[in-house]
Structure 1
């Protein structure tokens, strides 16, 4: 993600400093996103001995689209290099490996929250909330540095709820300036919805299901897209200028074009140009 969002340099996955944790710790099932089943804690057959993916350049054609739209938000290198001090799960004890796989998803959730709070702090309208945001961001960062045993028992759901409530207030403040009454579509089921050219300015789409939705030419300026499922959504020529809490994995999972206008917090996926 672009560096202009302050405090995000460590919130991007850096595979060179990670022990391939997402390729081992996480499970996946044979589907449109993955070519076969894999259980949690079992290394993917494509993972090489140097912790790199053996088919990285061919993930999409080989049926691993799910891998191309995943981001650990920097949790991989945090767990590998800080939580476990550079101890490799391949060469360490089995107990260390099990605990590493256990805490990785926890730290990933915390890092995702850090990413959202970093963006919220850049929104001019949330100035009155910046003190609370900074305090909660510092507490979240502290939690990411707990010992493995503490991370394993952390009530991350409760902490996530605290952060979510504050981010909701930030969202309401940021969208308050949009003219006209905006319908709240939080958690809405918009699977395959026909929203071509729709005026969705300043709308809340938090957690909405937009899988395969037609958003061609839609106006999503200033919309809240936190947690929205954009898999295979058509964003061709859509305007997402100023949309916030939009992450790179969400954009990577959608379809778009050269005419799609994106906020500065994300980059245009390479596969869009190829029409895949």
Structure 2
């Protein structure tokens, strides 16, 4: 409802922000949730709000229904993108604090997490005033340090590929252990059999990247959404906290 999307390879139709998706049911569920990819909506399958939608609807707006009050709808949809970014930062901070190598900055990470969490508890007006970019910059500095501490223990760690344009790159079998791939563009990259252990992939774009047989064990800040947007197979090695996407096991994967 809140976010827009355009007809493309990711979405089968156009939808404006604030306009209900035609597949939305009366009980707020998706009418084609079990068959999104087959119906041309792979973009929906890789989106993760990190629990922000539930927080906004149940806590910030105390369960009020946007369909019954246009003003509530307007304010709710303005707040949601802010909450989504704050919840994403909380996820990254939790991941960073859990890393054994983060000992030197763990207290800073926990303080930052507490500060961001307090922001998420504000009312609609307070949330609308949050300078999300400033918050992201402060947190990203800490997350970058956490990544550096983790990668420091990797012998001969990979090169700094932060923000690199690696779209369609031929990286089959590449040794990317401990590489800095923060924000890298790896769209449709060939990473078959690549070693990505302890590589920092914060914000890396893995859409349609070929991860068949790749080793992502211990990959830093890898999200389920990143995996869901990529291609892989039964031989792809994953961190234990992440699930192997169902579409990897189909003939079209």
- TM-score grouping bracket, smaller chain normalisation: over 0.9
The answer on 1:83 being equivalent to 2:60 is yes
* Contact 1:246-1:265 within 8 A present in 2 as well: no
Name the residue aligned to 1:74.
Answer: 51
Structure-2 separation of matches of 1:60 and 1:137: 35
Structure-1 separation of matches of 2:102 and 2:96: 7
Please report the TM-score for the alignment, with normalisation by the length of structure 2: 0.98
Task: Write the deviation string for residues 116-142 of structure 1: whole angstroms up to 9, x where unpaired.
Answer: 111111111110101000000000000
The answer on 1:147 being equivalent to 2:123 is yes
The answer on 1:102 being equivalent to 2:78 is yes
Please report the TM-score for the alignment, with normalisation by the length of structure 1: 0.90
The answer on 1:162 being equivalent to 2:138 is yes
Name the residue aligned to 2:220.
Answer: 244
Structure-2 separation of matches of 1:95 and 1:235: 45
Higher relative contact order (CA 8 A, sep 6+): 1
The answer on 1:56 being equivalent to 2:19 is no
* Contact 1:244-1:263 within 8 A present in 2 as well: no
* Contact 1:35-1:62 within 8 A present in 2 as well: yes
Structure-1 separation of matches of 2:175 and 2:157: 12
* Contact 2:157-2:177 within 8 A present in 1 as well: no
Q: Which runs of 4+ in 1 moved over 6 A?
A: none
The answer on 1:270 being equivalent to 2:246 is yes
Name the residue aligned to 2:179.
Answer: 203
Name the residue aligned to 1:235.
Answer: 211
RMSD of the TM alignment (CA)?
0.8
Which segments of 5 or more consecutive residues in structure 2 lack a partner in the other structure? none
Structure-1 separation of matches of 2:133 and 2:55: 20
Name the residue aligned to 1:226.
Answer: 202
Structure-2 separation of matches of 1:210 and 1:265: 22
Secondary structure of the residue that 1:77 maps to in structure 2? helix
* Contact 1:247-1:265 within 8 A present in 2 as well: no
* Contact 2:158-2:175 within 8 A present in 1 as well: no
Secondary structure of the residue that 1:63 maps to in structure 2? coil
Secondary structure of the residue that 1:107 maps to in structure 2? helix
Name the residue aligned to 1:47.
Answer: 24
1:181 deviates by: 5.0
